[in-house]
Amino acid sequence: MGRNPRPQHFLVVGLRRLVETIDMANEPYFPGLEGVIAGETAISSIEGELRYRGYSVSELAGSATFLEVASLLLHGELPTSETLADFQSVLSEAAELPDPVRTLLEEIPVHVDSMDVLRTGVSALAQFDPQCDEEGRDADLNKATRLLAQIPLIVAARYRMMQGYPPVESKPELGFAANLLWMLTGKEPSLLHERAMDVSLILYAEHEFNASTFAARVVTSTGSDMYSAITAAIGALKGPLHGGANERVLEVLKEVQEMGDAEAWVREALAKKRRIMGFGHRVYKNGDPRAVILRGYCRELAEESGDMEMEEIADTIERIVRTEKGLPPNLDWPSARLYHAMGLEPEVFTPLFVVSRVVGWAAHVLEQSESNRLIRPRSRYNGPAKRKFVPLAQRD
């Protein structure tokens, strides 16, 4: 009878694990996963320019409507007149909140952050979705469409409650962007306001593996549902380093207005190494193309109102930050001014981001589900070396 091979086997396994441990210690580490390719997507690309399913966002913003873009992201192709009409019809039918969700919005204290309310509201909607427990692409597409229809209702109803006004009923016949502004303000918007809002929604709709989208994909990769993924994405977007940045931009601009000297303010801020929100981007080192598009609408709205002060302040800050720090503005820089020019308050800025980005998130949920692998990265341990356990009695 031959010798037992098990000791040799254990030695080989042990050596292999030791090598793997050493290799892990020497693996390159990228804080914030910067530059790490974490997956593949056919939804959008930011190489060279931002494209949604192959279409330049500049062309889409110049010629398409938000609902055309939403259909493109969810279904993979731009709609025909017939399929767009069908899409609008489904959205109109779904544009109603369950009574318990309306009551919930009324019961949450007014001081609660708008994004917290929206996150809770979306989670609550799941309980009333007729396909809540159904799985598969068709069911998820229907859930995504209902979310696109219902999220604006939550955002607008809560916003008006915070302003001390009752919610107004939806008017889907106005068009998506015009109806959104109607529900927020109680006034039918001008054509310029409608188009500016529509373009902002197009520009915010999708942006590859950003933090909130990645959060949605991680949740989906566990086999969880559409509503859980979107709720997680909203939680990620709330952060001031992600979606909440546009609210901070307006705070900066108002602070400069009070000081009355934009150049002195920005130079002092730079000297103190103060972070100025709305500038720089993890990916766009030479400038965010979306910011360029929206800047034009900011100027049009300012000219329409006859008040150019905030645009002049913004131009001064932008010029100096570009020159001194080499940082171009990102989309948050003009979007805060755009929504302010429409008479909207900062507490609704990030929820408006959700109104748009839900279609991008949902597209990623669908894509992750179709070719799923659990997202489970490794970490590099930097804690204490192996230690011997000391019983409690000996620690006193």
CATH number at residue 259: 1.10.230.10
* 137 domain-assigned: no
Quick one: which of 149, 135, 129, 140 has its CA closest to 87? 149
For residue 381, count CB atoms less than 10 angstroms from its CB and return exposed for 0-12, middle for 13-18, buried for 19 or more. Answer: exposed
What is the rounded CA–CA span in Å between residue 220 and residue 224? Answer: 5
What is the residue range of 321's domain? 246-341
Quick one: which of 236, 227, 235 has its CA closest to 142? 227
What is the rounded CA–CA span in Å between residue 105 and residue 161? Answer: 9
Sequence-distant (≥ 6) Cβ neighbours of residue 59 within 8 angstroms: none
* 178 domain-assigned: no
Q: Which of 129, 332, 340, 364 is catalytic?
A: 332
What total number of domains does the chain contain? 1
* 294 domain-assigned: yes
Work out the angle at residue 50's Cα, subtended by the Cα atoms of residues 49 and 53, and round it to the nearest 5 degrees.
120
* 207 domain-assigned: no
Residue 282 belongs to what H/E stretch?
Answer: none
What is the rounded CA–CA span in Å between residue 286 and residue 21? Answer: 39
Asked about 340 being catalytic, the answer comes back as no
Distant-in-sequence contacts of 67-70, Cβ < 8 A, 24+ apart: 67/91, 67/176, 69/201, 69/202, 69/205, 69/359, 70/148, 70/205, 70/359
Work out the angle at residue 124's Cα, subtended by the Cα atoms of residues 95 and 67, and round it to the nearest 5 degrees.
35
Reported in sequence order, the residue ranges of the chain that DSSP labels E, i.e. its strands, are 44-45, 51-52, 55-56
Strand duo 55-56 + 44-45: pairing: unpaired
Asked about 9 being catalytic, the answer comes back as no
What is the rounded CA–CA span in Å between residue 257 and residue 251? Answer: 10
Residue found by looking up tokens 């509201």 in the block: 121
Is the entire prediction scored with pTM above 0.85?
Answer: yes
Q: Which of 129, 140, 207, 281 is catalytic?
A: 281
Angle in degrees, 0-180, between the axes of helices 349-370 and 226-237, rounded to the nearest 10: 140
* 346 domain-assigned: no
pLDDT one digit per residue (tens) for the chain, 396 residues:
445 555 555 555 555 655 555 565 677 888 878 778 889 999 999 987 899 999 999 999 999 999 999 999 999 999 999 999 999 999 999 999 999 999 999 999 999 999 999 999 999 999 999 998 899 999 999 999 999 999 999 999 999 999 999 999 999 999 999 999 999 999 999 999 999 999 999 999 999 999 999 999 999 999 999 999 999 999 999 998 888 788 888 888 988 888 788 999 999 999 988 888 888 766 766 778 899 999 999 999 999 989 899 999 999 999 999 998 888 888 989 999 999 999 999 999 999 999 999 999 999 999 999 999 999 998 889 999 999 999 999 998
Could you tell me the two tokens for 204? 């915010």
What is the rounded CA–CA span in Å between residue 239 and residue 212? Answer: 10
> Do 100 and 109 touch, CB atoms closer than 8 A?
no
Residue found by looking up tokens 């901070």 in the block: 248
